[in-house]
Amino acid sequence: MTTLADKSLLSGGDNKPPMLEKHLYDSWKSRMELYMLNRPHGRMILASVEKGPLVWPSITVDGATRLKEYIELTPAEAIQADCDIKAINIILQGLPTEIYALVSQHRVAKDLWEKIKLLMQGTSLTKQERECKLYDEFDKFTYKKGESLHEYYLRFTLLLNDMNIYKMPLEQFQVNTKFLNTLPDEWSKFVTDVKLVKDLHTTNIDQLHAYLQQHERHANEVRLMHERNSDPLALVASHQLTQPAYQSHLHTHPNSQPQHHVSPYQSSQFVTPYQTQQFTTNQSTPLSITYPSNEYQSSVHHNVYSPQSSIPQLEYAPTTYQHQQSKFSQPDSGLSVPERG
């Protein structure tokens, strides 16, 4: 007996099946098969798609052979005939307009299913090309800057699902190693911990994701610290933040700026660096030199270590000839001639 749900499905009023996308045929095919199995008499519907429709039985009436009418079918045959119609209806509802226009003339679910497969996948060469493309995507799979760990995990899982649809074999160790080694540098410490704790031959991707997700906050902190140290603009901004405090200190203590004292000896081009360093030390007592060979005694004061004078100063002791200086006149030539009495 046909139920209300069956009649609703035949009329197209039930919830619609998944819609086909051109570049996701394999995923659509898998979801469509699950959708069919979830309907009443789902196995018979899927059998109609894979093996073909019911072969209507014939009947002989008054010596003439003809096909049975629907009301003449057995209950099992009637259910199978309904499932053939349901299969066609489910497939057509999952097609976009441009694909529907190419296959709508088919009235057998099996022929319709194969025609869609040919349009989407092409021949066996096209399938091989698709497998090569998936292997290439797996080898070149990388982390995208700015995405979270969950987004990275979803992209990797979708790629694995597409490869499983084509029955492309991958070792579990190979999958886990690819997932861990592709993570950015801020995850390096936690990746090492995973490799030490987990057995990559038996652990699946879901378990690795759950373990790493607990440390995502710490990985983000490490990433921010690396970006701050490697970005010169961030360093300039950090320096500008500390600059006002230093300037306010200078305004508060104007005399705290370092003062540079230049020694007179440093202005001479004949002074070596060693002498410059020597002359900038503390002052010493003047050196007095006495000449005992004559009656004139002079003291030569050499301010060797004094930065206040760069020329030695001579001071002569008073002698007996000083009182006679008034007796001499000072000619224009600068010579003194004594007068004779």
pLDDT tens for 185-243 read 888 888 898 889 888 999 998 999 998 988 888 888 887 887 777 766 655 655 565 55
Taking the C-alpha atoms of residue 116 and residue 185, their distance in angstroms, rounded to an integer, is 45
Q: At what angle do helices 188-197 and 205-213 cross, to 10 degrees?
A: 130
Whether residue 176 contacts residue 206, with contact meaning beta carbons closer than 8 Å, is answered with no
Tell me which residues of the chain have a pLDDT lower than 70. Answer: 1-14, 122-125, 231-341
Q: How far apart are the first and last CA of the chain?
A: 172
pLDDT confidence of residue 151: 93
The first and second tokens of residue 67, run together, are 């096909």
pLDDT confidence of residue 35: 94
Specify the residue for token string 């320096």: 239
Whether residue 103 contacts residue 65, with contact meaning beta carbons closer than 8 Å, is answered with no
Cβ-based neighbours of 305, under 8 Å, separated by 6 or more = 278, 279, 281, 282, 283, 284
Q: 127-130 contacts: CB < 8 A, separation 24 or more?
A: 127/166, 130/166
Q: DSSP label at 302?
A: B
Whether residue 179 contacts residue 203, with contact meaning beta carbons closer than 8 Å, is answered with no
pTM to 2 decimal places: 0.43
Q: Which of 219, 155, 226 is nearest to 188 (CA)?
A: 219
pLDDT confidence of residue 155: 94
pLDDT confidence of residue 305: 47
Q: In a 10 Å sphere around its CB, with 0-12 CB exposed, 13-18 middle and 19+ buried, how is residue 88 labelled?
A: buried
